[in-house]
Structure formats: structure tokens, C-alpha cells
Amino acid sequence: MSDQREVATIIGGPVSPYVRKVLAVCTLKGVPYRVDPIVPFFGNEEFSRLSPLRRVPVFIDDQVTLCDSTVICEYLDERYPSPRLMPSDPAQRARARWLEEYADTRFGNVTIWQIFYHTVIAPFVFGKERDTARIERAVTQELPKVMDYLEQHAPAEGFLFADISTADLAVAVFEPNLRWSRVELDKARWPRATAWMARVAEVPAVASVTKLGGMLMRASSLEQHRSLLAEAGVAVTEATLAAPKPQQSPALM
């Protein structure tokens, strides 16, 4: 297995937590990448072909075209084993997989579909009224259940395992999307989980991609995303899979 890092193309912008997880893993492993920072709802027909669920990230390199951040991160960990981002002990590895799955599915559902979608995407992408009752229900009823669970599993110090893992990343990447939705996690109620996420957020590979996402959140239009990233020193693809008009998500049909 060659240790040479091949350039990867990543479809999807750093406002997406799942894209940030993959960008952070590329950075930690020294995999150079270029980005087509589309918002998935604007993907064209080629995007539908590459990503049948019409989701970002999509990852393309000299060997594979992959969807799903977990599949992509596992591929990167197997192809470029250094530094390892999954523990080697089978029981710890299984625990890492479960926490990553829990974060992707449940924390993601509450943060992205129930809160960020209704706070940011529905009004700004689809021109819909904010569903404030739904957001309130998610913040007061669903988010606490997720945070209670994470509080039980959060490490008292450091990361989940000896070194940072994709499971740590998978959890911590959702916090900025909550903040961008004007939802602050209560540090007194969930001290271990919030402190753990803050430690992960401080890792330079994570902090740099979060900063890029924050920059795009402040952009006045989606058209600016490519040029803003390029100005920030991120390699951007020449062509884009963005279409002029958004499509409703298959998840909401």
C-alpha cells in the first residue's frame, strides 16, 4: 500500500458538519484536497448521479468515488494509516463506530434537520417561514436527550481514546451548526460533553475548517462561497456541480 497522498476532490462546502469531518480528517492525514463547495439542494444532475441520496460530502480520488462521511473517513484511515484515527483494539473500535453512528444519525438529525434546516436553510434557501415551534421543540426536548447521552459517554479529559479519533470529530462538528442557529449548549448542564467538544474544536485541523464554515455563514450569497474559499487559500475545483435552482431534499419528499 503506497503512503503517497493523492489529491482528493470533495463535493460539499464546510457549512456542512459532515463535510467538515472529512476535511478535518484530510488535514490530519496530510491529504491535499480541492473543494466544490455546493449546498446539496443545488446539486445538478451529475451530483444526483454521484450522490444518489443527494447528500454531501462526496469524495473522489484516483481510486474511488464515495458518499457518506463515515465511509470516506474509514477509507482514508485504511489507505493512509498515519496518523491512525480509529483505535486498533476491537472493542474500542466498535465503540468508536457506534458513537460516530450515533452522532451522524441522531445528533445530526436534531442539529441539522430539526434545528439548522428550519433556522437557516428553509428561510434562506427555500424562502420559507421559520417553523419556530418546531425549532423550540427540538431545542427543549430532543437536543437535551442527545446531550444527556453524550454526557454519559464524554471523556473527563482528552479524547475518547488515547488519540483523537473520527468518533471525537463526528460529535464535535455539530456544535458550530447549533451556534450558527443561535443555540448555545448549556455548559453547566452538560459539563463533560461541552468541554470535550471544546477540546476537539481547538485541534488546529478542526478549528481551521470551522473557521471556513463560519466565514461562509456570514457570506451574503451562495455565489460568494467559491471566491471566499479561494481567497482564504482553499483549492477550489474549476467546474461546479451546482445548479441554478434548489431542489427539495429526497429526505423530505
Ligand X SMILES: N[C@@H](CCC(=O)N[C@@H](CS)C(=O)NCC(=O)O)C(=O)O
Long-range CB contacts (< 8 A, 24+ apart) of 186-195?
189/144, 189/147, 190/147, 190/148, 190/150, 190/151, 191/151, 192/151, 192/154, 192/155, 192/156, 193/147, 193/150, 193/151, 193/154, 195/154
Taking the complex as a whole, how short is the minimal distance between the CB of residue 240 and ligand X, in angstroms?
A: 16
Least distance between ligand X and beta carbon 218 (Å): 18
**Residue-wise DSSP of 23-37:** HHHHHHHT--EEEE-
Q: Report in angstroms how near the CB of residue 57 gets to ligand X at its nearest.
A: 6
User: Which grid coordinates belong to 51?
Assistant: 450522490
Reference 69, options 11, 3, 155; nearest CA is 11
Which residue has the CB atom at the shortest distance from ligand X?
249
- Cβ nearer to ligand X, comparing 134 with 192: 134
Q: Cα angle at 47 between 41 and 48, to 5 degrees?
A: 85
Q: Which residues, other chains included, contact 87 with Cβ-Cβ below 8 Å and sequence gap of 6+?
A: 93, 96, 161, 162, 165
CB-CB contact of 115 with 178 (8 Å): yes
Grid cell in block for residue 43 = 446539486
Which is nearer to ligand X, 40 or 87 (by Cβ)?
Answer: 40
Closest separation in Å from C-beta 3 to ligand X: 26
Nearer to ligand X, 112 or 150 (CB): 112
Which residues make up the interface to ligand X (CB under 6 A)? 16-18, 40, 54-57, 68-70, 104, 112, 249-251
Q: Name beta bridge partners: 11.
A: 36, 58
Smallest separation, CB 110 to ligand X (Å)? 13
Helices 191-202 and 204-217 pack at an angle, to 10 degrees, of: 90
For ligand X, the closer of residues 6 and 101 by Cβ is: 101
Nearest-approach distance from CB 4 to ligand X, in angstroms: 26
Nearer to ligand X, 52 or 83 (CB): 52
Q: Smaller CB distance to ligand X: residue 19 or 139?
A: 19
